[in-house]
Structures are given as structure tokens and as C-alpha cells.
Amino acid sequence: MKILVIGSGGREHALAWKAAQDEDVSEVFVCPGNAGTELEEKLTNIAIDHADFDSIKKFCHEQKIYLVIIGPEQPLVNGLTDFLVSKNINVFGPSKAAAQLEGSKTFSKDFFKKYGIPTANYASFDNFDSASHHLNKIKYPTVVKADGLAAGKGVIICENKAEAINALESIFNDNVFGSAGSRVVIEDFLKGEEASFIAVVSKDKIIPLATSQDHKAIGEGDVGLNTGGMGAYSPAPIVTEAIHEKIINEVMEPTMHGLIAEGSPYLGFLYAGLMIDGDDIKVLEFNCRFGDPETQPILMRLESSLVELCMSAINDEMDQHDIKWNPMSACGVVIASGGYPEKYASNKEVLIEQEDDSSSKLFHAGTKLVDGKVLTSGGRVFCATALGDDLKKAQEKAYELVNKVNFENSYHRKDIGYKGIYMGVKWV
């Protein structure tokens, strides 16, 4: 069988790599892919824009694609799933209507309120004047969010009113997030530890994936600007058995049933970004796809078939599916272009020492292959990911892999995984 993965980042490299491990899979196409997917065995890049629905449909029919897995949020929000399903193509990913959980923060916050899902107090505004007036009524710090898709960077934590005004000016007046900033959400700042809870959902059925924790901030100690993620590890000690059960009961199930009630039953990866403070959990946001860089360490631990998992969801047979996990820990460290998440240079040649360890994997993200050379093409360039008997050993191996990658002005955090290592809490 042949598989098509939509996307070009580290998440898509990991999805394609994992799908290719299935013995029944003869070839995995990646649209458009990156240098890593171009060099990977059984993987082939195709130069089709994911906004070109007709060309994707034509390719699927010509190649007899068995399954399409959509990685990034934009094609989901644009309705690619709906279009391909209407052409009798198996697609793993939510409908356009369901993807509004990620596509609009106003929609998601209103949804949380309607269905009793715990989240921060909030207000939504479509202009600078009304939003700035609201700043006189709230406590600080506060959080200002662009309503639409902003590649994980549309969240600004403001310590005081002056910073909040600056955030609103940059969004409404300077248009830093483009159309994603046509509306903003202003919400209470939540204290605690962030964790990522990702599951495969099919209507009212759910298979939770291995727990994970991301590192959003650019700087060590979780300081500085928000990014798409600078590294992640799995499992996450903060998600105890009790917290795990609470997330299922108070977050995931109400969301699934709420979407059914709205006429938009969910199919695909559903990602709850959570703030955990003791026994209290609140939803920061929902993503309607696998997280990046959480995908990389999670899939390193997945022992069973990704393709079978996706198809069991499509066929509404998840109650008959068993998922198997490697008991080892995994840690992934993002290697970025210097200057990210702001301005950065591209087209830097990358030198990579040969990998010879099956327990580590260098997933490409912002790369391209030109005349046989790997060049940088994005802010987040790689995710160096490794397994270990515990998180400390996984972390050590991941950083060993980081040291095998060299390009001009590269940057990585040196503390990925530290929270999990020093918590000492039993994990699931």
C-alpha cells in the first residue's frame, strides 16, 4: 500500500518515517517534504502545494493512495479533509468544522465555556480600542493571543498594562500575525506546568497517546519569546495516573461529545495543551493535529503500526485496536536557526556526522536538498531525538546527536527535559 503525508516539517518527517516501518507499506509520499524525507528509505517527496486540492486528489487517484495523513493545521482549517473524503479517499484528520477548535481561539474558548471544559477566564475583541479598554479591568500578568493560526507564536504574556498595549498595537496596528490577528483573545495568566495530552479520536472513541511535555520558550529556563516548540520529552512525569484520568473525564470526553452535539464529530489527532497546578487542570488551547516537536519523541516510543491506528479510527474500530509503547523514555531537542523565532538566515549548508545508533534519530524540519547538499530553509531546522532507559539517559543521547549537526549560527536550548528529570513523580 501507498501512503501520502501532507506537510514539510519535523512532525511530517516523523509521521512518514513511522508509516514506512509498516511491512505492508511499499512507499510513503510526502507533500512537499524536506531534505530528510527526500533522503529517507521508502519515502518520496512530491512538489504539490497543499493548497492545490485538485492536484492532491489527482495524485491520490493516480497512485492509488491507501491513506492520507495531514500533518499541519492550515490544510485542515482550509478543508482538505472534507474535499478528499468527498472523493472517496481515506483521510486521517478532522473536518474543517472540527478544526475550528484550533483555527479560532474565540471559537474554542466559547466552546469550552458552553461544554464546561476548564479554561482561563477570557474576553475576545476585533479592534484595538475595545481591547485596550478591557485592559483597565483585569489583573496582571495577562495573556494576549492572536485568534487565528500563527504557527505557535501568537501568544504574548504581558506583565503589565504597558506590555499588553504594546502587544495589541503589534497585532492590530503592525499586523505582525497577518489575518490571524484580526481578532484577539485576552485571558487570565495561569500558573503551573504545561503538558501536552495527545490522543487519537474517532467520534466518541479515544486512544490516548504517550504523555509528553513541550518547551515553548526560546530561552533556557522557559524565558523569552514563544516558539513552535524547542524540544519535548515523553513520558511526562507531571501527568500522573490521577491527572491522566482527570484529563480524560473533564477535557477529552466533554470535547468529543460537544463536537458531536455541534454536528462536527472528530476524527484525527486531538491535542490538548494543558496547564497543571497540583490537582487543577485547565486547557490553554486545542490543536487539531499532532504536536511538533512532541510527535518525534512520541513516535520513537510507538511500537505498533501507525497506519493501522489511523485506519482503525477511520473505520470506527478503535475499540478493537491495541496500541503498544516502548517503556523507554524519549527526548527530542530542536536545533534552530539563530535569530528564530524572529529574523533568521536560511540556505546555510549543514554538515551531519553519520548516525549509527538505532535508538536515536535526526528528524529534519526546515531543510532542503540542493545539488546533494542539505541546506537550512526554516526557523526550526532539526529535532535530534533519542531513546534511553530513563529520561536522563535519553536526554544525554539526544544532545550527543545535537553535537553531530553543524551549520552556521545554529541554536538549541541546553535544558530540554530538565523538568521531567528532576520531578521524581511516577508517570504513565
Domain match, 315 and 352 both = no
Residue 141 lies in a domain: yes
C-alpha cell at 322: 491495541
Domain boundary among 268, 286, 320: 320
Q: Are 308 and 397 in the same domain?
A: no
CATH number at residue 166: 3.30.1490.20
Looking at the fold, whether 359 and 289 belong to one and the same domain comes out as no
Q: Give the per-residue pLDDT at 423.
A: 66
Torsion, Cα 30 31 32 33, to 10 degrees, reads -20
In a domain, 349, yes or no: yes
Contacts of 211 (CB under 8 A, 6+ apart): 195, 196, 197, 234, 235, 236, 239, 244, 427, 428
pTM of the shown model: 0.92
Is residue 176 within 8 Å of 170, Cβ to Cβ? yes
φ, ψ of residue 166 in degrees (nearest 5):
-60, -40
> Do 208 and 300 fall within a single domain?
yes
Q: 248 in a domain, yes or no?
A: yes
pLDDT of residue 354: 82
pLDDT tens, the chain, 428 aa long: 999 999 999 999 999 999 999 999 999 999 999 999 999 999 999 999 989 999 999 999 999 999 999 999 999 999 999 999 999 999 999 999 999 999 989 999 999 999 999 999 999 999 999 999 999 999 999 999 998 887 667 888 999 999 999 999 999 988 889 888 889 999 999 999 888 999 999 999 999 999 999 999 999 998 998 898 999 999 999 999 999 999 999 999 999 999 999 999 999 999 999 999 999 999 999 999 999 999 999 999 999 999 999 999 999 999 989 999 999 999 999 999 999 999 999 999 999 998 768 899 999 999 999 999 999 999 999 999 999 999 999 999 999 999 999 999 999 999 999 988 876 444 44
Residue 179, pLDDT score: 86
Give the Cα separation of 304 and 291 in Å (integer).
19
- Interacting residues of 4 by C-beta distance below 8 A, sequence separation 6+: 28, 29, 30, 31, 56, 59, 60, 63, 65, 67, 68, 69
- Any domain includes 279: yes
Please indicate, yes or no, whether residues 207 and 170 belong to a single structural domain of this protein: no
- Domain contains 413: yes
Compute φ and ψ for 411, nearest 5 degrees.
-145, 140
Same domain, 302 and 216: yes
What total of structural domains would you count in the chain? 4
Q: Kindly report whether the peptide bond that precedes residue 297 is cis, defined as omega within 30 degrees of 0.
A: no
pLDDT value at residue 331: 98
pLDDT reported for residue 180: 83
Q: Please check whether residue 116 lies inside any domain of the structure.
A: no
Residue 212 · residue 297 · CB < 8 Å? yes
Are both 39 and 146 inside the same structural domain? no
Query: Running DSSP on this structure, what letter comes out for residue 50?
Result: T
Greatest CA separation for the chain: 60
Same domain? 315 vs 333: no
Whether 119 maps to a domain, the answer reads: no
Do residues 148 and 207 share a domain? no
Together in a domain, 197 and 316: yes
User: Is residue 418, in this structure, part of any structural domain at all?
Assistant: yes
Q: Which domain holds residue 80?
A: 2-96
* Domain harbouring 16, CATH code: 3.40.50.20
302: domain CATH number? 3.30.470.20
Q: What is the pLDDT of residue 176?
A: 85
Considering the domain architecture, whether residues 236 and 175 belong to the same structural domain is answered as: no
d(CA 17, CA 21): 7
Same domain, 270 and 298: yes
Write the CATH number for 408.
3.90.600.10
Looking at residue 425, its pLDDT comes to 43
